């Protein structure tokens, strides 16, 4: 994959950081989009660009910055997202709108801007969630937003196929990151979640990164509109 150029949103920590580092190891030149932690973003990619993906202008600036720094764009990994842990019917209007704006709107805005500058052979990978397939305890708005990402992935795949731009998604299950580390520190929460996973194991960000690198590679050249579950078998439980 040497010589290819990628933008990873939310690449300064957690899953996004692991993806950015794995792409770099595969020979890809990587720009990392971040909103808060500039130093973490710089250590994950050779270029760090600040921007809010929920804002169309900010999303466009991220892509423009990546293209300017890397000389073009071949790969986009949509990863920037938020998780507000609250039952759906207890979610306020502001939290609902913000969740959809970042987790769905952000993916749309960045993908639209990236597709406009990608040539044939481009690749978009959306980081969705296993929560897109089944209700998520205490995280209703998040689950709804990730279900929307799955359809966004398929719609983009359909519309961009004539241009030979592939669009796929990965759906991580329980992966320990900054978003859920406090919850997983509670023994009752951790035990309850592990009980739903046939393999009985919590994942790490690197488990997701390998699947993303595969989807960006020529080994996945016939894959578009596809979802890869990385959930320890939770979806079959």
Residue 107 among the catalytic residues: no
| Residue whose token pair is 């970042």 | 102
Active-site entry in 34, 107, 108, 142: 142
Rounded to whole angstroms, the Cα distance separating 167 from 154 reads 7
User: Do the Cβ atoms of 233 and 171 come closer than 8 Å?
Assistant: no
What does each C-alpha distance from 163 to 3, 120, 122, 153, 197 come to in angstroms?
A: 21, 6, 9, 15, 39
What does each C-alpha distance from 197 to 14, 147, 190 come to in angstroms?
A: 21, 20, 11
Rounded to whole angstroms, the Cα distance separating 42 from 157 reads 30
Residue 201 token pair: 């194991």
Q: Active-site residue numbers?
A: 142
């Amino acid at each position: 994959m040497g010589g290819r150029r990628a933008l990873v949103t939310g690449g300064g920590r957690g899953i996004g950081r692991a993806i950015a580092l794995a792409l770099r190891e595969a020979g890809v030149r990587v720009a990392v989009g971040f909103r808060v932690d500039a130093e973490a973003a710089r250590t994950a990619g050779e270029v760090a660009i600040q921007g809010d993906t929920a804002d169309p202008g900010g999303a466009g600036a991220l892509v423009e910055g990546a293209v300017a720094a890397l000389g073009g764009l071949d790969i986009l990994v949509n990863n920037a997202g938020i998780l507000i842990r609250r039952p759906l019917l207890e979610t306020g209007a502001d939290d609902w709108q913000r969740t959809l704006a970042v987790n769905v709107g952000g993916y749309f805005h960045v993908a639209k801007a990236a597709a406009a500058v990608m040539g044939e052979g481009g690749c978009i990978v959306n980081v969705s969630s296993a929560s897109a397939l089944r209700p998520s305890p205490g995280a209703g708005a998040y689950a709804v937003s990730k279900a929307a990402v799955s359809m966004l992935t398929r719609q983009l795949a359909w519309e961009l196929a004539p241009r030979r731009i592939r669009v796929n998604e990965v759906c991580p299950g329980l992966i320990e990151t900054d978003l859920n580390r406090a919850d997983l520190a509670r023994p009752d929460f951790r035990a309850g979640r592990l009980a739903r996973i046939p393999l009985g194991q919590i994942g790490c960000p690197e488990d997701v990164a390998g699947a993303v690198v595969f989807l960006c590679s020529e080994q996945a050249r016939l894959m578009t509109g596809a979802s890869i579950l990385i959930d320890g078998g939770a979806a079959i439980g």
